[in-house]
Each structure stands twice: as structure tokens, then as C-alpha cells.
Chain A
């Protein structure tokens, strides 16, 4: 049967997902549900209410939220400009915009570190100009800067595709019916690209929330995201049970955001192209 043969094609993926996702996940769940001594416990899950962990979780959510917002505020106007530009080959512009993705993301973060560190390039110029140093590195701002720099293309791509997919005659029709620019934007463009923005948020919010490398490099270890706490439980404290418990908690929050913002994806799959 044809259908059967098509199903055979999924074998490599099925092996992959069982071997590298499902089984490891089961390990994580098992660790999360037990104490280091091997007794069943909810302690590792409840540990999120510990003030330190709670603070790290809220900070993770906050920075992921701010990063997503900044990415939208940069991407949407850029998409509008590209749509209205007379440049014929819009795919080239899109290519240029995602060009940073070609560079290793840790390299990009190290580059930012060079720019904003205490004796970095920016402070060097500011000192030379007689303004004096400013403190950027090791702040929450620095981490948001790094996240936006790293994840902006993931917002830009779906938003740009979503905005470009809005037919010109629909925009002209709304103007024809009396809509000014603001009305065209709020009543036509935004509603029609909402699912694309949703895709973008999922693509930026989720990795930002689970981020720990950027926080390590640009936060100088002073700012603890939940990702940093988990990493330390695994690599420093060697408490894999607590690390797993916190991971499961983080997973729940990731799932929640995907549910909230990813709903639009079923709508013709518009925008989600990565």
C-alpha cells in the first residue's frame, strides 16, 4: 500500500525522536520525581517556590518578555518598510536581514561582550570623548541586548513573511473605503499578521526563557536566570534531581507560552517558515 510505504519514510525521524528526545525526557522525569537517595518525592518540583528559584524564574520570564517585545518593535516596522519599498527583489533584503544567523551565536555574544565590557570598545570611545565610562556589562540590559541580537532573525523572518503575504489589493481596498494609515495598520495589517507575530514570539520567547549562556557571558554570573540555576545544579552542585525538577517546571512554562502564542500557526501556516 502506498500509505504504508510513505510511513516507512518516517523511520529515521522516529528513531531520532525516541533516542534523543523521548528517552532522555523519561530520565529527566524520573530524576525529577526522586530524591538523590532514590525515594519518590515532589520536593524537586516544589523547589521552584524557593525564593531564589522563584526570583530566577520571574527574571527569566521578564527578560524573555522584554526581548520578545523589543524584537517585535524592531521587526514589524522593518517589515512594513520592506513591504512598501519599491525594491523588487524583497527576498534579497530578507537574506541580508538574516545574515547574522550565519555566524556562531556564542561568537556573536562574545563580540557584544567586547563592545560593552568595562574596558571595552564603547567605554574606550566614551572615555576618549570625555564622557566617562558607563556600566552596561553585567546588567539585565546587557542580557536583553544579547538575546535581541541573537534571536531577532527568528522574529524578523516570520513577521516579514506574514506582512509580505498580505495582498496589496486588500490594503488598497481599505484605503478606498476611507481608512487612514493608522486604521489600515490596526484594523487590517496587524490582525492579518497576528499569527506571524505569534510564531515570532514562540521562536524568541522560548529560547530566551531557557537561556543561560548569554546570561553567563553578559551577566558575568551575577544575574541568575532559571537556566543558570539548572545548569549549576547539573554541573556544579551535581544535584541532578533538583536540576531535573526545575527543568520540568521550566518545560511547563515553555509549553504554556507555545499554547498561548502558537495558536495562530494552524491558520494556514502563514509566516512559520524556518
Chain B
């Protein structure tokens, strides 16, 4: 594995009486595409601003390449930021915008001209040198903001919800662009978003956050398939989160009925949260199902139907399937053992927020 490039140690930060980050630890490896994912107010943007140097942590240190940069002002950090609202200099041409950082570094004109051309080619906007920012669309402005950042050859690019202001189609296009850019540049991307789909599409590693605490760190696959708690399961994609009782290893009881699963290591008769992804709820003829139910609603979503089923065991399931089961029809419901995710129930309200210590990094995920 590549070396750690950025390390946050014991970071705490409050704004007024609001604790935003509480003893947070996190490291980011070289050439990783890391996404900080969470609902608004979870502290993800604050982490980015601390790394960028726009906020100073109340407690804790930031290390960059092994050096403590906690007190270093933003203009002396080897990283660049792409802002949510582009933040282009409206009084300068596109070329002047891109050249801004290079002129401060006193690069010669020939070098700057080549860099501008290279950067505009890279973001697919060649020939835009003399345009003004106001004359560009949102997507184009964001590309210029990226070009302006990368000409400085930063080791890390910080992206603060850069696609948030764009419409859906453009957002999806830009996701592919960003993946391509990251691969071509070979630098570290730290990306902040509340959009789980964006995070799953682009990231090497996702850091799921809630209320100032890291909930889970892992690859998109591991976060989606093996969420560590109900919050992550609920936030990443859609989920059926159901109360259950773990009867013994590999056997869970839901609504009084036993289902085979693959999870072990729980107490006998321990109450647990059971998470089943809607696409893992298989519907079929009544005879073949592990349990049965009645379809209460069906909504066409394009790729699939979203179906609500009132089951015989008293649980409402949400299922996603390409097959059409009209409302009112009786169906059989099955879930294969691999697709049950069993989680400890939080002991108290406080424990719903997990501490980072519970999820040491560097473990095989």
C-alpha cells in the first residue's frame, strides 16, 4: 500500500457551542480518491477546510507528508481546492484565472502559456483562454476551477461538493471526468459530498460520517455490502432495517420466523438490527417463498419497480425488481443467507454514534 500523505490526529473543533468534530483521527494515502460522505452538518466540510487551512482545529494536529502543518496558512500548503460555487475570479479572463497561482510562483510566460493550454485540454475546454467566467455555463465554470487548481501541480486536490450546483445529467458526466482526471494526474483527491451515488461511483475509499464522528471507512463495495451499523446502511442506498433476534450462529429470527444467515459471534438471543437491501428481497410464486406477503404498492422507477410488501410475519419489506407484481397480488418472499446483514443494536442513544476506535484503519476491508 502507498504511504500515508495526510494524517489528522485527535482533531476537535467547535463553532460556538456546537461540537462539529470530536477527537477525530483519519489518514489519507497517496493517490487515493477518498470521499467524505455524510448528511449536512456531519463535519465533512470542516475536515476539508482544516486540511485546506481555512479552519484551525481547537485541538489536534494535521500532518502532511510527515510534517505538522496545523498552523500553516492556506497559501503555503501544497494542495489546492475546488470550491462548491466555483469561486472563479470574475474580473479576470479564463487564462488569467488559471495563471493566477503560477504568476504568484513567478513562472515565466512561456511555461504559463503551455500550462494553460495543457489544463484547458485536460478539462475539455480548449480555446477558452480569452472568455470571461460569466459567459460560461456552471459545468464549464467548474471545469475551469479544476483547471485553475491542477496547473499548480498540487499533491492533493480538495473538492468541496464540486458538482452540487450542477444538474443531474451534467453531474454524471462530470463524475466520469473526475475519475479520468484523477487517473491521468495520479494525485490524491479528497472529495466531500452528501450524495451517496457520487461517492460510490468515484471513490477508492469512502469515509462515512455522522454528527462529527466517523461511522465507517472502506471501499464502496464493503460500505454498501457490509455496513457496520444501521446509520450507514440507511444512508448508503436504500435498506430494509428490521428488528430481529439472533437465535444462534447463522440463524436469525424475524417476526417469529427463523432465517438462515452467515453471521456469527453474537450472544444467544441477542436483539439485533437486520439489514436487507431492497434488490436482495426476491419475489416469486407464493409456494416457493420463505414467507409470503401482499403487494401494497408498486412504483415504476425506470430500471426497476419499487414494491412495498406487507408480509405474513408482520414486517413491511421494500423490494426492487424488474418484474411487475400488481398491487394486491400475493407473492412469496425469499432472501438468501448471504444477503442478511446482522448488526449489534446500539446500547444507548449515545452509542448510536460510533467512535473511530471501534473501526481501526489498515485492516483488510
Question: Contact mask B41-55 → A, CB, 8 Å, 1/0?
Answer: 000000000001110
Evaluate contact between B90 and A176: CB separation under 8 angstroms. no
Verify if A183 is at the interface (C-beta below 8 Å from B).
Answer: yes
For window 145-169 of B, CB contacts with A under 8 Å fall at: 145, 148-149, 152
- Choice from A167, A170, A176, A178 contacting B52 with Cβ under 8 Å: A176
Q: How far is the CA of A192 from the CA of B76 in the complex (A)?
A: 24
For window 212-226 of B, CB contacts with A under 8 Å fall at: none
Contacts of B53 on A, CB cut-off 8 Å? 175
Q: Which of B57-65, B80-88, B303-311, B341-349 forms part of the interface with chain A? A: B80-88
Contacts of A174 on B, CB cut-off 8 Å? 89, 100
Evaluate contact between A173 and B83: CB separation under 8 angstroms. yes
Looking at the assembled complex, report how far the CB atom of B39 sits from the nearest CB atom of chain A, in whole angstroms: 22
Contact residues on A (Cβ < 8 Å of other chain), bracket? 10 to 19
Verify if A180 is at the interface (C-beta below 8 Å from B).
Answer: yes
Evaluate contact between A178 and B101: CB separation under 8 angstroms. yes
Verify if A77 is at the interface (C-beta below 8 Å from B).
Answer: no
Contacts of B73 on A, CB cut-off 8 Å? 175
Evaluate contact between B87 and A178: CB separation under 8 angstroms. no
Q: How far is the CA of A179 from the CA of B100 in the complex (A)?
A: 9
Contacts of B145 on A, CB cut-off 8 Å? 173
Contacts of A180 on B, CB cut-off 8 Å? 75
Looking at the assembled complex, report how far the CB atom of B7 sits from the nearest CB atom of chain A, in whole angstroms: 21
Q: How far is the CA of A188 from the CA of B145 in the complex (A)?
A: 16
Contacts of A178 on B, CB cut-off 8 Å? 75-76, 101, 104-105, 152
Instruction: Identify 25 residue pairs between A and B in the complex whose beta-carbon atoms are under 8 Å apart, listed by A's number.
Output: A167-B85, A172-B52, A172-B74, A172-B81, A172-B87, A173-B81, A173-B83, A173-B87, A173-B89, A173-B145, A173-B148, A174-B89, A175-B54, A175-B73, A175-B74, A176-B74, A176-B149, A177-B101, A177-B148, A178-B75, A178-B105, A179-B75, A179-B100, A179-B104, A188-B89
Contacts of A191 on B, CB cut-off 8 Å? 91
Verify if A169 is at the interface (C-beta below 8 Å from B).
Answer: yes
For window 172-208 of A, CB contacts with B under 8 Å fall at: 172-180, 183, 187-188, 191-192
Q: Count chain A CB atoms within 10 A of each CB in B74, B80, B84, B145 and give the residue with the most.
A: B74
Looking at the assembled complex, report how far the CB atom of A21 sits from the nearest CB atom of chain B, in whole angstroms: 36
Q: How far is the CA of A167 from the CA of B88 in the complex (A)?
A: 10
Evaluate contact between A167 and B75: CB separation under 8 angstroms. no
Looking at the assembled complex, report how far the CB atom of B162 sits from the nearest CB atom of chain A, in whole angstroms: 12
Contacts of A176 on B, CB cut-off 8 Å? 52, 74-75, 80-81, 149
Could you list which residues of chain A lie within 8 angstroms of chain B, going by C-beta atoms? 167, 169-170, 172-180, 183, 187-188, 191-192
Q: How far is the CA of A178 from the CA of B148 in the complex (A)?
A: 12
Q: How far is the CA of A188 from the CA of B101 in the complex (A)?
A: 13
Evaluate contact between B83 and A177: CB separation under 8 angstroms. no
Q: Is the interface of A mostly helix, strand, loop or mixed?
A: helix
Contacts of B89 on A, CB cut-off 8 Å? 170, 173-174, 188
For the complex of A and B, the 3 pairs showing the least CB-CB separation, nearest first, are: A177-B101, A173-B87, A169-B87
Q: How far is the CA of A167 from the CA of B91 in the complex (A)?
A: 13
Contacts of B100 on A, CB cut-off 8 Å? 174, 177, 179, 187
Looking at the assembled complex, report how far the CB atom of A178 sits from the nearest CB atom of chain B, in whole angstroms: 4
For window 68-82 of B, CB contacts with A under 8 Å fall at: 73-76, 80-81
Contacts of A169 on B, CB cut-off 8 Å? 83-85, 87
Evaluate contact between B87 and A177: CB separation under 8 angstroms. no
- Choice from B83, B90, B101 contacting A192 with Cβ under 8 Å: B90
Looking at the assembled complex, report how far the CB atom of B197 sits from the nearest CB atom of chain A, in whole angstroms: 25
Q: A169-B87, A176-B52 are in contact. List 19 more A-B contacts (CB 8 A).
A: A167-B85, A170-B89, A170-B90, A172-B54, A172-B81, A172-B87, A173-B81, A173-B87, A175-B74, A175-B75, A176-B81, A176-B149, A177-B75, A177-B148, A177-B149, A177-B152, A178-B105, A179-B75, A180-B75
Evaluate contact between B54 and A192: CB separation under 8 angstroms. no
Looking at the assembled complex, report how far the CB atom of B157 sits from the nearest CB atom of chain A, in whole angstroms: 11
Looking at the assembled complex, report how far the CB atom of B66 sits from the nearest CB atom of chain A, in whole angstroms: 22
Q: How far is the CA of A180 from the CA of B88 in the complex (A)?
A: 18
Contacts of A179 on B, CB cut-off 8 Å? 75, 100, 104
Looking at the assembled complex, report how far the CB atom of B165 sits from the nearest CB atom of chain A, in whole angstroms: 12
Q: How far is the CA of A174 from the CA of B152 in the complex (A)?
A: 13
Looking at the assembled complex, report how far the CB atom of B62 sits from the nearest CB atom of chain A, in whole angstroms: 15
Q: How far is the CA of A178 from the CA of B52 in the complex (A)?
A: 12
For window 194-218 of B, CB contacts with A under 8 Å fall at: none
Closest residue to B84 on the A side, CB-wise?
A169
Looking at the assembled complex, report how far the CB atom of B227 sits from the nearest CB atom of chain A, in whole angstroms: 34
For window 21-57 of B, CB contacts with A under 8 Å fall at: 52-54
Contacts of A183 on B, CB cut-off 8 Å? 104
Q: How far is the CA of A188 from the CA of B53 in the complex (A)?
A: 19
Closest residue to A169 on the B side, CB-wise?
B87
Looking at the assembled complex, report how far the CB atom of B103 sits from the nearest CB atom of chain A, in whole angstroms: 9
Q: How far is the CA of A167 from the CA of B133 in the complex (A)?
A: 15
Looking at the assembled complex, report how far the CB atom of B37 sits from the nearest CB atom of chain A, in whole angstroms: 22
Contacts of B152 on A, CB cut-off 8 Å? 177-178
Q: How far is the CA of A177 from the CA of B74 in the complex (A)?
A: 8
Evaluate contact between B75 and A170: CB separation under 8 angstroms. no
Q: How far is the CA of A170 from the CA of B149 in the complex (A)?
A: 13
Looking at the assembled complex, report how far the CB atom of A9 sits from the nearest CB atom of chain B, in whole angstroms: 32
Looking at the assembled complex, report how far the CB atom of A198 sits from the nearest CB atom of chain B, in whole angstroms: 14
Closest residue to B49 on the A side, CB-wise?
A172
Contacts of A170 on B, CB cut-off 8 Å? 87-90
